[in-house]
Structure 1
Amino acid sequence: MTPEIITVLGILGGAVLLLVTGWLRTDVVAVLVLLALAWARAIEPEEAIAGFANAAVVTVVGVFVLSAGLQRTGVAQWLGQWVQRVGGRGEFRLVAALMATAAALSFVMNTVAIVALFLPVVMDMARRTGVAPARLLMPLAFGGLLGGMTTTFATMPNLLASQALREAGLKPFGFFDFLPVGGAAAVVGIGFMAVLGRRLLAGRGMEEPAPSTALPNLTQHYGLHERMFVLRLPPGCALVGRTLEESRLGSALRLHVAGILRDGQTRLAPDRWTVLQDDDRLLIQGTPDQLQDLAAWRGLVMEESGSEMEGWFPEHIGFAECMVAKGSALVGRTLAWLDARQSWGVNVVALKRGPEIFRSHLQDRRLMPGDVLLVQGPTERLAELRTGAGWEAVRETPRDEVAGGYDLESRLFTVRIPEGSPLAGRPLSETRLGEALGMTVLALGRGDTKTAMPGPDEELRAGDALLIEGRSEELRALQGFRDFELEREVSPEWGDFESERLGLIEVVLSPRTGLAGKTLRQIRFRERYGMSVLGIWRAGKALTHRLQDLPLQFGDALLLYGPRSRHPLLGGEPDFIVLSQAAQKVPLRTRAPMAVAAVLVFLILSATGWLAVPLAALTAAVLMVLGGCLRVDDAYAAVDWKAVVLIGGMLPLATALERSGAAAALGAAGVEWVRDADPWLVVAALFLLTSTGTWFIPGTALVVLMAPLALELAIGAGLSPHAVMMTVALAASAGFSSPVSHPGNVLIMGPGGYRFLDFPKVGLPLTLVVLATVLLVLPIFWPLK
């Protein structure tokens, strides 16, 4: 092997490793590949960025805009209503009509957009017809995937396969070239799902038909019936006279107060300023086990002496004042979001804003220009802050100035962990003193040894002393919270919480959400959206415990409770797909004819060849905007730039594989294996290899990687390059067997209540059916030799 081949294969191996493991986002991997190839001189600088001007990329951008226009003008919603009229209440007809419609829309919409658009339609359809959502949502996603096999520009794998032929000096696929083979696969696949596939489905609501209302199913699905209890506050209880916020039931004990029974009336979704009264009965969403933190806090022994700073901190631990600069990226962020301890290696002790000083519950405060943070940490960490972006000034602050200017010592107190404490043997983070009570553990004393800034994983022992900065009265109040009465025999029904003003609603994180990776606490969910999160459905499991600190993921389904007036506002949020048509944004129906006209222009120009497909797509996209179907900003927002960067960044790798000779070397090795094999077996093996690859690598990136290798294999084995490339493209679209094979599959997992194994259970037989159809039809229209 030449050095050039070794270099390119090394970059290829690194890219595959990163894509399979998911250590980095796919678009970041693509950019790294592009830069690695350029730095290694495997391609010219112009070739490194040529992928972003590729015809496939331009076409994809145009199709994204067309998809958004059809959605905004209500055309796709109208098609959903048509499906219900045609399908009636029969499950066979519903599945067939739904999959056929999704497949037809794939001509001008990408699969993710189709699934996102039809999610609320299908959920409403399930409620009205009594068919469980799980029997409809997987057919919806698979219908979109099958429809993507029918035309050259229906999916990115088809476009990229055609482009690979063009760059190899061969005739690219025409507009309808995929239709005979892909269309046959789509028809047979839809038939299989309507007759047999749906019977293999399992998921939420499969045991019995879906009821006319979603409430019983939702509460059972999320396990809320088992997570309700009542707390009664007898006269003299420590909580009486406090507001809900001051009670710390939510922040400290992670209990959600869904309602208050008072004087024979139920007050639903009380706000945080509601004052608790004698004999209030609190309807709690949670489990009594969550009260166990109280037992741990009650046992802490508060000490009157030993809380002065001197003697606790060695010389290398100091304080500094950091002023937030105007225009800093820190502005608008909360300290919980920034996670100063993890990011900067310091504790934030206080925040000064003008003449006012805030010392407690700092994690939820949003930073403003001119804010001064008092931080504690090692002197080397404080020095690093001076060079960090976002600060206008960083000044080391003497301890006496801290004690006087911030009155810090008056807020210091010491607690000791007694023998037999539940906290002994547990890490410091599990005390939840900072998260729950807004306190900061500044130091830990064990015998004669004192450790400043102990880490969250520091294991506590009986006899340990903790130097804490915070309000000692808050800990005393919770230690005194023992007079409540737990009414275990009461089992409230969630139907009691539904009213004209309040109700449940289910949402799914959208493909373009900016909330993935962030916790509910960091984004201040309740304050931001006015709704409470009761549960999260993820990967086949209902999560209802410690939701505030659980990072959200794309595809998560969230069960929300709050004012019905907020439901339509959620429908307009780009971060969510609301699973109810009633909460959707009102479509621009008067612009629907213009949207349909723009799509027809695209189809006619592309089919006749009067304009190249990329130019036809851009023309139709511009017509969408000029025709008032979309605003310019909406058109930009409709484009999945992550997908664009993925394609543009990975295409240079295909160029490098071909130019370096790596593709030829790998192809020659493959030819040795298949030289005497039957062409049908070669095509079948290639199909299975590619479709299996979608379990680990996105289909778009997979085609870019496979294309040069498949072409070399075809040439070396004497097979038709067009037949081989069509096989690769169709297989890359056959992502039926895994929920991670395609983003559309991820979207339906939560609403459908699917588990991971549901996809191979249905998807593997469907993949074999599609493979058999391709093997039968492909040689008729594209001879293998």
Structure 2
Amino acid sequence: MNWQLLVVLAMLIAAVAMFAINRPRMDVVAVLVLVALPLTGVLTVPETLAGFADPNVVLIAALFVIGEGLSRTGLTYRLGDWLSARAGSSSTRLLVLLMLSVAVLGAFMSSTGVVAIFIPVVVSISARLGISPRMLMMPLSFAALISGMLTLIATAPNLVVDAELRRAGADGFGFFSVTPFGLVVLALGIGYMLVAGRFLGSDRDDDAGPQRRTYEHLIGEYRLADRERRLKVGRRSRLIGRSVEQTGLARDHGMRVIAIERRRWFQRRLEVTAGVGGAVLHRGDVLFVDVFGATDDLPPRLRSLGLEQLPLEDGFLTELSREVGLGEVILPPNSAALGRTVGELRTRDDHRVEVIGLRRGSTAVSGVLAAERVRLGDTLLVVGAWSDVQRLGSRSDDFVALELPAEVSENSPAANRAPFALLSVAVMVVLMVTGIVPNVIAALIACLLMGLFGCIDMPSAYRSIHWPTLLLIAGMLPFALALERTGGIDLAVSALTSTLGQGNPILLLAGLFITTAVIGLFVSNTATAVLMGPVAIATADHLGASPLPFAMVVVLAASAAFMTPVSSPVNTLVLGPGRYRFADFLKIGTPFTVVVLIVAVTMVPWLLPLYPNG
């Protein structure tokens, strides 16, 4: 063992220790590695920084953008709505559908993002069914981890190990190479959680803290429930060809048009009229209307206008909450708007939002708001596109925005672009499966298509990329080269084969799995894959075996981060909402990790022969 290897090993141990205590942050540790490695003389500066030019770093960044496009178009939230509707009142059906949905979605986008999306869905469904979130949050995180075993792009460790295979001259994995193993683990995981999940207990913590207000609260507080109508413009309506202002609906009939829904071909488009008041009405348009005037003679008036009333189950504000934003504002003492009528505030013209409610103390003001003068302490409820509602407080010194309702987290500003988002993902998958272009080019094509179709804009794309993850990968990749150059990889292979015996490859596969899983308790699964991928490939080379089964075991073990809440970000995310303790993950996660180990050492040699030519 030479002194350079000792230095590299000392740095590696120090990095692992800092990862374990999370001091400093993981991305900061990666920067420290990038600074320290060239100083050892083992690697040059270009070799140390080569990770930033790795295609998989660009690929992972592109996958973050694609996941954000799926969220912005509302596809992920629609899946949550479908889940709630199909589960009904059955907690068993809910758990099965939840794990299936999360695993399938996580196969094509960030599992961390999927869990973040589904946490409020699970909380809402748990409250409706009267069950504890503890029963569902851990199945949620387990399904997200298993999703990493379903496709090549599902998680960063898969891509890291695949890159190591190709760097070693092997063929690498196909898009669905890991899928057979993942499907078996998913089926076993669902069955396991149906039984083991019951040991989590169902105790409720009634003091979990204040709940964020929702549309339902605001609609009740401002007495909007009886004012919502959904109207269709008939083919002989005299409103056809007129703009919203020209129709005089608000002025003459006490009906304020909040949004217009149009369907062209197979696409649904929603326009929030606070921002596009000049929109011209067409035959077949569906108007979402706030009726603030008298309703006694409403049916005859609707017939005279050529409007047909459509059914509305839960109120359109709730139905459109992912596209139409609600927000509360108050006026500070120095506001120039004090003393003015609501009509004189010009919120539509100046801020692209409209006032639809006014609360004075705890009492909602009813009737025509336009003539109501605003006093100090009044709270106004405004409606508009989410982007305009969110910006209202920062646009003017005359308004102070209060906390937005919980639905803001489900904002889908590009909901009408959902078919194009699906098309973009389908193109990417086809290109990756067929191998027409490299995976990174396929992902970048999908990103460009999403941008072209309006599924995502550049600011959202840049915000969606989790830069600490990219920095962590780029910073840890040079370790593999440093260990290889100083003989560290050969040392690890020798230790593994001498301990488990090179005559029994199954024991070596089990040893690789256990080593990877144990390291993953303290280090991110991406960093673990960076370290263990070269060891797996070198072990196969030492035995004269195919590197694919050894690399696949590392891939499966890297995703088997079930044992502690710090093993993966998805476990950390559900720790609070599920009100779990560290011991809960050990109790439930450790046996299932053993199950995945058995699947790996049984199926991998069967589907990926150790000696394909032997």
Shift of 1:677: 5.9
Partner amino acid, structure 2, of 1:196: V
Aligned residue among 165, 179, 203 for 1:207: 203
Shift of 1:582: 7.0
Question: For the residues of structure 2 that align with 1:223 and 1:612, how far apart are their CA atoms?
Answer: 49
The residue that corresponds to 2:464 in the other structure is: 638
Are the counterparts in 2 of residues 123 and 580 from structure 1 also a CA contact under 8 Å? Answer: no
Residues 571 and 659 of structure 1, relative CA distance in 2, 3 Å threshold: farther
The answer as to 2:505 corresponding to 1:683 is no
Question: For the residues of structure 2 that align with 1:735 and 1:747, how far apart are their CA atoms?
Answer: 14
Question: For the residues of structure 2 that align with 1:142 and 1:755, how far apart are their CA atoms?
Answer: 16
Output one character per residue of 1:204-237: Cα deviation in whole Å (capped at 9) or x when no partner: xx137xxxxxxxx64x33499xxxxxxxxxxxxx
Partner amino acid, structure 2, of 1:155: T
Partner amino acid, structure 2, of 1:186: L
Residues 783 and 579 of structure 1, relative CA distance in 2, 3 Å threshold: farther
The residue that corresponds to 1:316 in the other structure is: none
Shift of 1:566: 11
Q: What's the RMSD between the two structures over aligned residues?
A: 2.6
Question: For the residues of structure 2 that align with 1:625 and 1:777, how far apart are their CA atoms?
Answer: 41
The residue that corresponds to 1:602 in the other structure is: 428
The residue that corresponds to 1:754 in the other structure is: 580
Are the counterparts in 1 of residues 71 and 412 from structure 2 also a CA contact under 8 Å? Answer: no
The residue that corresponds to 1:150 in the other structure is: 150
Output one character per residue of 1:65-101: Cα deviation in whole Å (capped at 9) or x when no partner: 0110111110000111111222222111111111111
Are the counterparts in 2 of residues 120 and 579 from structure 1 also a CA contact under 8 Å? Answer: no
Are the counterparts in 2 of residues 602 and 619 from structure 1 also a CA contact under 8 Å? Answer: yes
Q: Tell me, what secondary structure is at the counterpart of 1:164?
A: helix
The residue that corresponds to 1:421 in the other structure is: none
Question: For the residues of structure 1 that align with 2:609 and 2:111, how far apart are their CA atoms?
Answer: 29
Shift of 1:709: 2.1
Output one character per residue of 1:102-145: Cα deviation in whole Å (capped at 9) or x when no partner: 11012211110000111111111112222321111111111111
Which deviates further from its counterpart, 765-774 or 59-68? 765-774
The residue that corresponds to 1:415 in the other structure is: none
Are the counterparts in 2 of residues 674 and 717 from structure 1 also a CA contact under 8 Å? Answer: no
Larger Rg: 1
Question: For the residues of structure 1 that align with 2:447 and 2:563, how far apart are their CA atoms?
Answer: 34
Question: For the residues of structure 1 that align with 2:455 and 2:381, how far apart are their CA atoms?
Answer: 27
The residue that corresponds to 1:84 in the other structure is: 84
Output one character per residue of 1:746-780: Cα deviation in whole Å (capped at 9) or x when no partner: 11111111111111111112212222222222121
Output one character per residue of 1:275-329: Cα deviation in whole Å (capped at 9) or x when no partner: xxxxxxxxxxxxxxxxxxxxxxxxxxxxxxxxxxxxxxxxxxxxxxxxxxxxxxx
Aligned residue among 192, 202, 208 for 1:221: 208
Partner amino acid, structure 1, of 2:67: S
Shift of 1:146: 0.5
The answer as to 2:13 corresponding to 1:187 is no
Partner amino acid, structure 2, of 1:707: G
Question: For the residues of structure 2 that align with 1:572 and 1:698, how far apart are their CA atoms?
Answer: 35
Q: Aligned runs of 1:549-698 on 2, under 5 Å? A: 580-581=406-407, 584-676=410-502, 678-698=504-524
Question: For the residues of structure 2 that align with 1:571 and 1:134, how far apart are their CA atoms?
Answer: 34
Are the counterparts in 1 of residues 501 and 508 from structure 2 also a CA contact under 8 Å? Answer: no
Unpaired segments of 5 or more residues in structure 2? 212-378, 392-402
The answer as to 2:124 corresponding to 1:128 is no
More helix per residue: 1 or 2?
Answer: 2
Question: For the residues of structure 2 that align with 1:582 and 1:94, how far apart are their CA atoms?
Answer: 25
The residue that corresponds to 1:10 in the other structure is: 10
Unpaired segments of 5 or more residues in structure 1? 209-216, 225-562
Shift of 1:48: 1.5
Question: For the residues of structure 2 that align with 1:614 and 1:572, how far apart are their CA atoms?
Answer: 35
The residue that corresponds to 1:198 in the other structure is: 197
Q: Aligned runs of 1:246-645 on 2, under 5 Å? A: 580-581=406-407, 584-645=410-471
The residue that corresponds to 1:744 in the other structure is: 570
Are the counterparts in 2 of residues 578 and 584 from structure 1 also a CA contact under 8 Å? Answer: no
Which deviates further from its counterpart, 731-740 or 2-11? 2-11
Partner amino acid, structure 2, of 1:198: G
Instruction: Report percent identity of matched pairs.
Output: 39
The residue that corresponds to 2:116 in the other structure is: 116
Partner amino acid, structure 1, of 2:563: S
The residue that corresponds to 1:713 in the other structure is: 539
Question: For the residues of structure 2 that align with 1:775 and 1:657, how far apart are their CA atoms?
Answer: 27
Q: TM-score, normalised by structure 1?
A: 0.52
Are the counterparts in 1 of residues 414 and 456 from structure 2 also a CA contact under 8 Å? Answer: no
The answer as to 2:141 corresponding to 1:141 is yes
Are the counterparts in 2 of residues 157 and 732 from structure 1 also a CA contact under 8 Å? Answer: yes
Shift of 1:650: 0.7
Q: Tell me, what secondary structure is at the counterpart of 2:582?
A: coil
More strand per residue: 1 or 2?
Answer: 1
Output one character per residue of 1:311-352: Cα deviation in whole Å (capped at 9) or x when no partner: xxxxxxxxxxxxxxxxxxxxxxxxxxxxxxxxxxxxxxxxxx
Partner amino acid, structure 1, of 2:560: A
Question: For the residues of structure 2 that align with 1:722 and 1:86, how far apart are their CA atoms?
Answer: 40
Are the counterparts in 1 of residues 157 and 525 from structure 2 also a CA contact under 8 Å? Answer: yes
Question: For the residues of structure 2 that align with 1:16 and 1:579, how far apart are their CA atoms?
Answer: 41
Partner amino acid, structure 1, of 2:63: V
Question: For the residues of structure 2 that align with 1:175 and 1:103, how far apart are their CA atoms?
Answer: 16
Partner amino acid, structure 2, of 1:630: I
Residues 566 and 684 of structure 1, relative CA distance in 2, 3 Å threshold: farther
Question: For the residues of structure 2 that align with 1:564 and 1:725, how far apart are their CA atoms?
Answer: 60
Are the counterparts in 1 of residues 77 and 410 from structure 2 also a CA contact under 8 Å? Answer: no
